[in-house]
Amino acid sequence: MKITIIGAAGMIGRKLAERIAQTGAIGGQTVDAMTLVDVVAPDVATDFTGQRVSYAADLTEAGVAAKLVADKPDVIVHLAAIVSGEAEADMDKGYRVNLDGTRALLEAIAGVPDYCPRVIYASSLAVFGAPFPTKISDDFNLTPLTSYGTQKAMGELLLNDYSRRGILDGVGIRFPTICIRPGKPNKAASGFFSGILREPLNGQEAILPVDDDVRHWFASPRAAVGYIEHAAMMDTAPLGAQRCMTMPGVSATVAEQIEALRAVAGDEAVALIRREPDATIASIVAGWPRDFDTVRALETGFRAENSFEEIIRIYLEDEMGQSA
């Protein structure tokens, strides 16, 4: 089987490629060839025993999408995107990358005779906008309130339509906020969700800019890779015409995150969290969804963690090499 990962230099793309290199398979299916593409050449999966191609390319440039599908990969994982803050700050760039790039890929697939690949599309909780019910169900309308959310919602509709027409076999994954993200702190509004755990676990101070009662929807990087692995080989017939789903996760407040940290790493780690209110971040986070009822995803075999303590222990295992 051939797989192409677009956006392979990002955190999820890199971990997915490393997982495939480690196992030689995805979703139980042997991978013979893997192509890794991003705007910078991905440098991962060097131990992959099959055919491996890695190069830099911009999906929005003429001819790139056609090159990506020329060898008819069986599975295409589309992770490439301009994320929320940048898409809001630069509207033209957001639509060019998140919408035009996605459509270019789908049109390139449509132009290849006798070809119908599995396409896994990375979407976002940003397709939902307030006001929210206490728990968002699978039939809640897409009502984005940002350019990024709008672009992702349009991508979901395209995936549905091209799947309906038999051009491709799509699965759309709305990722929870991924936590704990490895690496250094960043300036993303959601970065503190990982930071208040990652930094204390590494013996460093962390800044908490919001109140303890802020609630959000989370999953680990390991779960994120698992979603894609499952989506690659699942039976899509039960999805019908609606190919996009919110993934399972853990709904937790900041206070619950902190107590999970205490349970795993003790009071000394919690003491490294410094409260420093930020009205701007608090305002942004107040407009985010908090909890989901992910019946469709669970019924079709997707899985995630069951507690925030489990998410923390996965970080210790996967990123710090510690037995949990």
Q: Which of 119, 117, 195 is nearest to 159 (CA)?
A: 119
Closest CA to 192 of 292, 288, 275, 314: 275
Of the candidates 61, 69, 59, 157, the one whose C-alpha atom is nearest the C-alpha of residue 113 is 69
Residue 159 neighbours by CB under 8 Å, 6+ apart? 106, 119, 121, 168, 170, 172, 243, 244
Residue 67's contacts (CB-CB under 8 Å, 6 or more residues apart) are 57
Count of C-beta atoms within a 10 Å radius of residue 67: 14
The one catalytic residue in 148, 162, 227, 315 is 148
* CA dist., res. 215 & res. 217, Å (int): 7
Active site residue 95: no
> DSSP state, 292?
B
How is the beta sheet containing 244-246 ordered, strand by strand?
51-56, 33-38, 2-6, 75-78, 118-124, 169-175, 244-246
| Cα gap 323→98, rounded to integer Å | 39
Catalytic residue IDs: 148
